[in-house]
Chain A
């Protein structure tokens, strides 16, 4: 027994093994045919995940970081402190507005002109939505620039000049050649003489460049596929191990074997 052990009686562990076994079989039956069993297992997975997520959201976020601090205040002060205002009351207010507007939207549109209350609610909901969207976009753009674009560009542009090792320079030039070739292939495609009025030798160079980029893309796709195959095979082997070995080592299987084998 560890501090992380389940507080439930052992029967629920055994039931979990049985349910897991049956659901795994249901998912595997997709190999034979897409039946209601597969759909049932998928819907169960989605439903249970959502339900669990809702419980976690209440336990770990809403109660722990919003409602409990508000309720635990010894004497609610008015006006509230700036910290309390920004950390608790403002999120609570904005969240309530968004929540009510969402429920109103779920009710569907009503024929005719909506009431002033509903119109006002939907207008108010623009504020939290705007904050959510604005923060997400701002954070995303800033992060992409500072965390990906700038460091990767600086690394790609670093050719080791003037006194770096030759291998560094060759790798840098190769990276530049392949990257630009892939860009040409994706943006321009095969260049035809009738479309681009360029000398033939330039067209040949451009098409050759594009050819390199196209092959590099295929090579990268093959590498990605190989790694994806490795990852999925690992999952499949783990699940087969569960069927072939872990299940047989469970107490439930031992009990069943004893009953079927005529044991005590």
Chain B
């Protein structure tokens, strides 16, 4: 695996020997390297116009005192630190002495190492940001020559990269490009330097305690219902206006891992479709999707009709099964459904299953994408909907809704039902009374959410207070 480091401008990772950032184009090679090389090649006549356009502009002035670091020693000519002359482009008034072979400053750069970083003196452990002081210079170096040679270095610009050791640079690069693996951060270990999320375990236990209390004592109807985002009404209207016996194509894009939320969102919509006597054709691009669909549809059928039979299910449901291939196979459903769905899960073709035949000849009357992520919905809107122009509804988790709002706004989605609140809002529109045994879990969800939001607010307020106090103490 190639070593990488982060670009100082955009932070993206680049190979260790890259000259330019592959993402933003910033020149990664140290500008001082080019300055030194050009000065060496041209005998001290480095021109500003030779520098790349994106190189930081470094005013060539003597060192300033930076946070107590030692300043650069004055040359024998007794130049004052505060009135540095700006050298003319293309020429400098100073004679640049050749580097002495017996000093670390004159170490010739090899072809495999950075000339400046290998030739520059290694700063002390305190990460000195200024030019090294005279005490760090070997004794056999002529101070006059050293001062003249140091004059060639431009002053540190606040915007430029500070001079750090190779090891510090490498550590900083690794820090910028590495992602913190959350699984590796053990919850019981709190950082002693004050950084990071401390008291994480306390927050977890507080949340669990509050939720447990809300669930155990939350069997009463809540005073208010949760807010319902736009899109639920459009989804209800699209299904409510379906003629009896319409063919509805469903992309079931969630599996048991997210069933805890998705079942609450999808079930009222499926119940509505069943009540409208729609013919459902269910496909899934997840291996565990068909099983999730089967389980929920059976529960919805029982809820609507009280008791289901094999004949009724056969009449209303076509299980298309697992459709592999991702986005590459979706256009088949739009252009040639007969090829994309030649048989159902039991091996029966369109000649035996009328819904499949309708799908092939006329296309679906409505399309649903039931997904815990936004990517399956986006893929459907990109690959299938432009081909058959079928009205499409998205039934998603709360986390997937924000990236899909623009599609609802542009009219590509006819409706969007998201999150547990979307499921509750949709159920309100159904006007079908629920048994108390079915109502209680919804009430618990509402109370649990309200309690969790209170905990989140408390954590945010305390965290901001702590941060403010910490900043003041600094």
Residues in A lying within 8 Å of B, measured CB to CB: 2-4, 30-34, 49, 52-53, 56-57, 60-61, 64-65, 68, 87, 132, 135-136, 139-140, 143-144, 146-148, 151-152, 154-155, 187, 189, 192, 194-195, 220, 223-224, 227-241, 244-245
Contact = CB atoms under 8 A, between A and B. Distances in A.
Name the prevailing secondary structure of the A interface residues: helix
Given A227-B398, A240-B211, A244-B216, 13 more contacts: A3-B309, A4-B313, A34-B183, A56-B322, A136-B327, A229-B456, A230-B398, A230-B420, A234-B449, A241-B441, A241-B444, A244-B212, A244-B215
B186 A33 contact: yes
Contact of B399 (A231, A241, A244, A245): A231
21 contacts: A53-B288, A57-B324, A136-B328, A139-B331, A139-B383, A143-B383, A148-B381, A152-B410, A154-B410, A195-B57, A228-B398, A230-B449, A231-B419, A234-B445, A237-B211, A238-B261, A239-B260, A240-B448, A241-B215, A241-B441, A241-B444
Contacts of A49: 287-288
Contacts of B264: 234, 238
Given A140-B327, A234-B398, A64 B321 contact: yes
Interface stretch (B84-92, B136-144, B294-302): B294-302
Contacts of A53: 287-288
A146 B187 contact: no
Given A2-B302, A234-B398, A238-B261, A31 B187 contact: yes
Contacts of B297: 4
Interface centre among B211, B287, B295 (most CB of A within 10 A): B287
A236 B261 CA distance: 9
B76 interface: no
Interface in B328-347: 328, 330-331, 339, 342-343, 345, 347
B308 A143 contact: no
A33 B188 contact: yes
Given A64-B321, A151-B412, A2 B298 contact: yes
Interface in B404-452: 406-407, 409-412, 419-421, 441, 444-445, 448-449, 452
A50 to B, nearest CB: 9
Interface centre among A33, A140, A144, A238 (most CB of B within 10 A): A238
A218 to B, nearest CB: 14
